[in-house]
């Protein structure tokens, strides 16, 4: 499971970078979304995978040993919300840019006009 998730994170990062480098400005937004998801999964994987166990703080011994750590999920939840907000803002920004300039081409971003 860990191995599969690691590969998935890699693929998502790759797709994100590919999308970020496209000239179409809407694909840039897709790239940002992928980048956010890849990172959320990365936190999830890096936090350690414990399946089928109730959650408690990690590192404690005795009764709580082996229980799942809930903190990475809490971090991801916050990151998802923030990512959602920024993506929504970026979408409106790009849409406004399209309405003002009538283009979705990145090359129009250069200032020499």
Which parts of this chain interact with another protein (CB under 8 A)? Answer: 20, 25, 28, 32, 35-36, 39, 42-44, 46-48, 58-59, 69, 71-72, 75, 78-79, 82, 85-86, 89-90, 93-94, 96-97, 100-101, 108-109, 111
Three-state secondary-structure class, residue 99? helix
Say how far apart CA 113 and CA 11 lie, in whole Å: 38
Q: Which is nearer to another protein, 54 or 80 (CB)?
A: 80
Q: What is the largest CA-CA distance in the chain?
A: 69
Indicate the SS3 state at residue 100. Answer: helix
Nearer to another protein, 63 or 102 (CB): 102
Q: Give the whole-angstrom CA distance, residue 8 versus residue 33.
A: 15
Q: Of 16 and 63, which has the nearer Cβ to another protein?
A: 16
């Amino acid at each position: 499971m860990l191995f599969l998730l690691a590969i998935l994170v890699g693929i998502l990062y790759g797709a994100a970078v590919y999308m970020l480098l496209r000239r179409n400005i809407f694909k840039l937004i897709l790239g940002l979304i992928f980048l956010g998801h890849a990172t959320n999964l990365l936190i999830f994987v890096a936090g350690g995978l414990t399946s089928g166990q109730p959650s408690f703080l990690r590192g404690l011994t005795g009764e709580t040993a082996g229980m799942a750590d809930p903190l990475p999920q809490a971090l991801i939840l916050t990151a998802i919300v923030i990512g959602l907000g920024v993506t929504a803002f970026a979408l409106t920004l790009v849409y406004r840019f399209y309405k003002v300039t009538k283009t979705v081409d990145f090359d129009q971003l250069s200032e020499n006009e």
